[in-house]
Amino acid sequence: MEAATVVSLTMAVLSGYCAGLGVLPPGPVNGTLGGNVIFKTTINPTTLSTIAWTFGDPPVSIVDFLISEGPVTGVGYVGRISLDNSTGSLELRKLTLNDNGTYRVSLRKAGVIQVGNTSLNVYETISNVTLRANVIDLVELNDTAIFTCSVSSGSSPLSYHWLNGSSEVTARYGIQLGDGGRTLTIANVTRYYQGPYRCIVANPVSSEPSQNLTLTISYGPENPIMKVTPLDVLYGSGSTLTLSCSSESSPPAQFQWALNGTLLSNQGPELRLENIQASQSGSYSCWAHNTRTLRYQTSEPYDITVLDLISGAIITTSPNPPIIEGNSVTLTCDASGSIISREWMKDGQLLSAGGNMIISEDKRVLSINPVKRTDSGEYLCRVSNPISTADAKHDLIVNYGPDGMEIKGPTEIKVGQKFTLTCSADSNPPASYTWMLNGTEIPGHSPEFTKEKMEDYLSPGLPAGAIAGIVIGVLLVVGGAVGVAVFFIRKNGTNAEPMHQGGSQQPVYEDLSPVYENTRQNQSPPLPLTDFKSTYDTRIM
């Protein structure tokens, strides 16, 4: 029967005519080893009188179908095929690699024969995809990573697809694909190539990913940044500061601290400075070190200035008091702590150099030369730095005089009349006054001299109405004394003419030298007599 069927189909093909060529879609058809494929025709279901499927060249019968007799299955295909009698489509099961090849079909309906052919490719599915790398712990910009992707089974052609995370890896600068895509080479790796990597191997019927492989790329340290808390320009002694350092680095960097470029014993990302002193001022920086890359980098330095609080401000003078007008005096301002600036004031007004005022460049010393009485007053030295201020005060007393001496009293007095003389002088400290009569000191040191009766002061034999010359000598006593001598001196001789009312007569003075010498003892240096004389004339009536 099989022979008769083949012969009848062959005769049908030879005696009939063909139409509708290409009843199979273009191939190839891909099949999986051990799997199934369907060769589906393009015709709609109908009543077919004959169907013939063959494989290879020369053709081997797969199945023949006569409407009157049914299908006849070829050797090797029993139990492996199913035929759709209405469309001529064929299902082939339990595919083997020997099923690769060309398949042909011939269909006959109402005397019209339709034929078609296609090819079948049977592939073994891919399994056990493995990814390996020459090294997975690399140093940035130093090392090269080479990945190799392999499979334990799977039919060619194989294609390779590379992923880093979810991003596709393609050949570009620094990245190469080789051996048909099986190898991936990354030269001079950077931190941005860390992974995870995987490869996907595919053929027309299957694809399989590898396990993930992550690169560890060491880099840095880079951009070390130092922070100071609290952040300020100047710090007072006794403050507490915290310096912290960070850097871009893998593995994390190790830190060491430096002051003015010299490494300190302190290590770690934080340096705590407690009760900091002025001696710890300087330029601080942190050194970052990566033990894997063996690289170092230093942060930008940060200048920390610590100032001692100012205290104990004092003004000293030279020479020691008393300060005498016409001499010089030096005021020196000192204090403990970090002194940044000084300024001088007198009686609340800012002082500047000029005239008899000389101020040193650092303003520590104020010199007054020559010193004047108007320089007396309260001097203030203000010592400061940006975090503290201290004031020192000194009352400068300039001793001067006596000068500007003046004696006031009546210009005419009657015999027996009370009178008062007043002596004044410009002096600091205030002058002390001494009154003398005929070389004899009168008790008391008041600037006023009062007597009840004028005649008590007339020398024996001095006629009434005679002129009494009152001479006052005023002497400077260093340290505070002013001596004033008042003398009533009669005119030489006993025949002095009486003074008539309205008349005038110049007094005749006795030698004052003994009096001057007597009143200025213990004074140094001596002053000329003319510096101390003052006269006062009184008419006695």
Domains of the chain, earliest start first: 2-123 (2.60.40.10), 127-214 (2.60.40.10), 222-306 (2.60.40.10), 311-396 (2.60.40.10), 401-540 (no CATH)
Residue 100 backbone phi and psi in degrees, to 5: -65, 130
* Cβ burial, residue 518 (10 Å; 0-12/13-18/19+): middle
Look-up: residue for tokens 């063909």? 18
- C-alpha 81/C-alpha 94 separation (Å) is 9
Long-range Cβ pairs for the range 260-265 (8 Å, 24+):
261/285, 263/287
DSSP-based helix, strand, coil % in the chain, nearest 5 = 5, 50, 40
Exposure b/e, 333-342, CB count within 10 A at least 16 = b: bbbebbbeeb
- C-alpha 431/C-alpha 477 separation (Å) is 8
CA angle 306, 308, 311 (to 5 degrees): 165
Are 162 and 197 in contact by the 8 Å Cβ rule? The answer is: yes
Look-up: residue for tokens 């010592």? 383
Please report how many Cα atoms fall inside a 13 Å half-sphere around the Cα of residue 101, on the Cβ side: 16
Could you tell me the two tokens for 293?
């890359």
Q: Which residues pair with 317 in a beta bridge?
A: 331
The residue type of 235 is Y
Q: How many CB atoms lie within 10 A of CB 411?
A: 8
Could you tell me the two tokens for 188?
């001079």
Long-range Cβ pairs for the range 410-413 (8 Å, 24+):
410/538, 411/537, 411/538, 411/539, 412/538, 412/539, 412/541, 413/454, 413/538, 413/539, 413/540, 413/541
Determine the pLDDT at residue 537: 45
Dihedral sign of CA atoms 235, 241, 242, 243 in order: positive
- C-alpha 270/C-alpha 263 separation (Å) is 15
Are 33 and 155 in contact by the 8 Å Cβ rule? The answer is: yes
Closest CA to 67 of 79, 45, 85: 85
**What does the DSSP 8-state code read for residue 34?**
T
Could you tell me the two tokens for 335?
């204090």
- C-alpha 64/C-alpha 59 separation (Å) is 13
Tell me the three state secondary structure of residue 367. strand
Are 302 and 285 in contact by the 8 Å Cβ rule? The answer is: yes
Determine the pLDDT at residue 1: 40
Q: Which residues contact 528 (CB under 8 A, 6 or more apart)?
A: none
The residue type of 46 is T
Dihedral sign of CA atoms 289, 295, 300, 304 in order: positive
Residue 294 backbone phi and psi in degrees, to 5: 60, 30
- C-alpha 146/C-alpha 133 separation (Å) is 5
- Rounded CA Rg of the chain: 65
How far, rounded to the nearest angstrom, does the alpha carbon of residue 387 sit from its chain's CA centroid? 19
Determine the pLDDT at residue 257: 98
- C-alpha 177/C-alpha 197 separation (Å) is 14
Determine the pLDDT at residue 454: 62
The residue type of 177 is L
CA angle 7, 11, 15 (to 5 degrees): 175
Closest CA to 184 of 208, 206, 213: 213
Residues of the chain with pLDDT under 50: 1-20, 456-541
Tell me the three state secondary structure of residue 293. coil
Could you tell me the two tokens for 217?
């790329």
Q: How many CB atoms lie within 10 A of CB 440?
A: 9
